[in-house]
Amino acid sequence: MEEQQQYRQKSHKRRFRRALIIAVVVVVLIAIVALILGLTLRAKSEHDTFKQVFLSRCEASQSNDCPKVWSAFEQAYVSKDPCTVPPEAYAPLLEAAPFTPACNRMLFWSKTKDVVHDFTDKRSCHVTLEDTLLGTVLDGLTWCGKEGSKETFTSGCPEWAYCDNNPVRSFWNKASASYAEVACGNVSVMLNGSILTPFSPGSIFASVEVKHFNPDVMKSLNVVLVTQEKVSNCTDASLKDLQKQLAKGIAYSCQEVPESQVEECASDPTIPCGACW
């Protein structure tokens, strides 16, 4: 009788251990499935949200080719290591949505983004890269792909300076070069006169755009040196470097303009565009 009782106790313990092991395995499997599902849903959420923003901005710009533009855009970086996307990867995108020259109205900038876009948002005197279809759609956004994935990610992407060929940096380099290539007539650039080096060698304007100005279609470059707290002026050494770097045949001029004057012109539509600076 005692032996039967001991056998039943041992048998019960074995069943309990098996049940416990099975329960642990089930919990682990559920956790793994939940993790995989969560990551998948997150990726789809990032992808779908980004695509929705892209297409809504595109459609707001009254483009009829938004699905075509999206397709050309995502092919540049999807399924790729986010540090191996060169500027040329966006060539098909620029072909799908080429820049339309706005002769005598094209405006470039460096270290003056806020004042420039406050001006162009209120007045149609000038057109910047960010006012074009692609510029409007992608300004302020972050995106990247990952090897083996067809999704678009907006988190975990490399910072601008982390690697040269990251998707965001490469897009703006390619777009800036292409926009500069079609700059025509009398072109302006708004630089910051409140810093020591208005024409900074590391800026996109200096390292990309100036090098792509075409003297066959571009007549002149007018530097608008915007000053809030005057640190530099039109005789600054960096601006002399800018003048030297311009292709032969492109005339150069420079004006020192208080930021308050630009803001006043932006807010007063009765002031003619030509009188803003």
Would you please indicate which residues are annotated as catalytic (active-site) residues? 103, 184
| Cα–Cα nearest to 212, from 258, 252, 251, 173 | 173
Q: Is 174 left (phi over 0), alpha (psi -120 to 50) or beta?
A: alpha
In this structure, what DSSP letter does residue 187 have? E
Helix (H), strand (E) at residue 170? helix 167-181
- Which pairs with CB-CB distance under 8 Å and at least 24 residues apart come from 249-254? 249/215, 250/213, 250/215, 250/218, 250/219, 250/220, 250/221, 251/219, 251/220, 251/221, 252/220, 252/221, 252/223, 253/220, 253/221, 253/222, 253/223, 254/222, 254/223, 254/225
For tokens 């329960």, the residue is: 23
Sheet containing strand 251-258, strands side by side: 107-110, 185-192, 218-227, 251-258
CA distance 23 to 17: 10
